[in-house]
């Protein structure tokens, strides 16, 4: 953040006019609501909005005593680990292969990047259709193999379904970053190792993978954020949090409790917890970015 211009313009009012639109929007739609969430999380409102009481940290106490909330935390954790883990490994595999090939590299890239453009909700619908019973192609194939697929009843199946849709949608993003990271590794290092007799498999684990770790770490944070916040549409379109509450991730629960169950205080308290999570993730990311810059 230290970078500054030596030469600047001088004006007392112009800079304020220039930042005014953005500051106005930020104030009205970010700071005011965030403050409201903080205040509301300390209040208890009845469902008709006729009376409001100050209840201190009671909403938070209630939240953390609520087993369904803790279960939602666990669901989100499992979901994020699965999405980040499988998403990153698949994308890395594809990126390493795309980095190797000479012929067709550009074509493969074009064919792999477009899922980035697909809305999460649409991705969910596509995967829902493949696994729909009884006519879905994949669920049919699984049945033929002896696996009775039913994501409406089996919570592991439902979880697998939203993980697959989420990974599919995110794979192009991960792929592009891994590919950029791989292409930034000096070829001379790899050639030197090859001359020393290191085989491709060994070269990958001792040279390429360690040098790629900044990219991997960055993508890990981004994918966890993605799994936490951007997958609401996938859950809502594919499972609606079901069966039961078994795929109800935190963001889905905030929405459900606030807008369906009309528990505004509880929903606001959940928002505050989520804000803390985002801030923590962002701090981790920036710590790391700073370190990278200081190298």
Partner 1 sequence: MVEHRPALNLLSHVVLILGVLIVAFPVYLTFVASTQSAQDIATARPVSLLPGSHMLETYKLALLGGNTSTGSLIPAAAPMLWVSLVSALIIAIGKIAISLLSAFAIVYFRFPLRGLVFWSIFITLMLPVEVRISPTYAVVSNLGMLNTYAGLTVPLIASATATFVFRQFFLTVPDELVEAARIDGAGPLRFFKDVLLPLSATSIAALFVIQFIYGWNQYLWPLLVTTSEDKYPIVMGIKRLIVGEAFVDWNVVMATALLAMLPPALVVVLMQKWFVKGLVDTEK
Q: Rounded to whole angstroms, how far apart are CA atoms 284 and 102?
A: 37
Burial class (CB in 10 A: 0-12, 13-18, 19+), 231: buried
Q: CB within 8 A of 261, min separation 6: which ones? A: none
275 near partner 1, rule: CB under 8 A: yes
Residue of 57, 152, 153, 279 that binds partner 1 (CB under 8 A): 279
- Helix 264-294 to helix 58-65 angle (10° resolution) is 80
Cβ closer to partner 1: 78 or 125?
125
- Nearest distance, CB of residue 176 and partner 1, angstroms: 6
- The CA distance from 253 to 261, in Å, is 10
Backbone dihedral region for residue 203 (phi beyond 0: left; psi -120 to 50: alpha; all else: beta): alpha
Contact between 260 and partner 1 by CB under 8 A: the answer reads: no
From CA 257, how far away is CA 268, in angstroms rounded? 9
| 32 is a contact residue toward partner 1 (CB under 8 A) | yes
According to CB under 8 A, which residues from 118 to 177 bind partner 1? 118-123, 125-130, 132, 134-137, 139-141, 168, 171-173, 176-177
By CB under 8 A, name the one of 46, 57, 66, 93 that touches partner 1.
93
Residue 209 binds to partner 1 (criterion: CB under 8 A): no
Cα–Cα distance for residue pair 205/209, rounded to 1 Å? 5
- Identity of the residue, 78 or 190, whose beta carbon is nearer to partner 1 in the bound complex: 190
Rounded to a whole number of angstroms, the minimum distance from the CB of residue 82 to partner 1 is 17
The smaller minimum CB distance to partner 1, of residues 63 and 258, is found at 258
> In the complex, what is the shortest distance from the CB of residue 71 to partner 1, in angstroms, rounded to a whole number?
20
**Position 56 contacts partner 1 (CB under 8 A):** no
DSSP H or E segment with residue 53: strand 52-54
Tell me whether residue 32 or residue 205 sits nearer to partner 1 (CB atom). 32
Count Cβ neighbours within 10 Å for each residue of 159-171 and write b for 16 or more, e otherwise: bbbbbbbbbbbbb
- Rounded to a whole number of angstroms, the minimum distance from the CB of residue 251 to partner 1 is 5
Choose the stretch contacting partner 1; rule: CB under 8 A; options: 56-64, 72-80, 150-158, 228-236.
228-236
Q: How far is the CB of 246 from partner 1 (least distance, A)?
A: 18
């Amino acid at each position: 953040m230290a970078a500054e211009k030596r030469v600047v313009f001088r004006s007392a009012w112009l800079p304020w006019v220039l930042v005014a639109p953005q500051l106005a929007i930020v104030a009205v739609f970010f700071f005011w609501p965030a403050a409201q969430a903080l205040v509301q999380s300390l209040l208890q409102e009845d469902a008709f909005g006729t009376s409001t009481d100050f209840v201190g940290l009671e909403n938070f106490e209630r939240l953390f005593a609520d087993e369904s909330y803790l279960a939602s935390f666990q669901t989100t954790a499992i979901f994020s680990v699965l999405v980040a883990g499988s998403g990153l490994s698949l994308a890395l595999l594809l990126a390493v292969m795309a980095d190797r090939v000479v012929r067709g590299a550009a074509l493969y890239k074009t064919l792999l990047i477009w899922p980035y453009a697909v809305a999460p909700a649409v991705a969910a619908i596509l995967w829902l259709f493949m696994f729909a019973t009884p006519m879905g192609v994949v669920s049919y194939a699984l049945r033929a193999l002896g696996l009775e697929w039913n994501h409406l009843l089996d919570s592991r199946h439902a979880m697998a379904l939203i993980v697959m849709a989420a990974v599919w949608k995110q794979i192009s993003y991960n792929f592009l970053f891994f590919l950029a990271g791989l292409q930034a590794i000096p070829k001379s290092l790899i050639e030197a190792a090859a001359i020393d007799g290191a085989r491709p498999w060994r070269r990958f684990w001792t040279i390429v993978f360690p040098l790629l770790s900044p990219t991997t770490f960055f993508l890990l944070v981004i994918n966890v954020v993605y799994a936490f916040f951007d997958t609401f549409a996938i859950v809502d379109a594919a499972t609606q949090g079901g069966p039961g509450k078994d795929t109800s991730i935190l963001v889905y629960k905030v929405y459900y409790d606030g807008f369906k169950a009309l528990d505004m205080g509880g929903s606001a308290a959940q928002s505050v917890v989520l804000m803390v999570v985002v801030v923590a993730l962002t701090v981790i990311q920036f710590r790391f970015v700073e370190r990278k810059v200081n190298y």
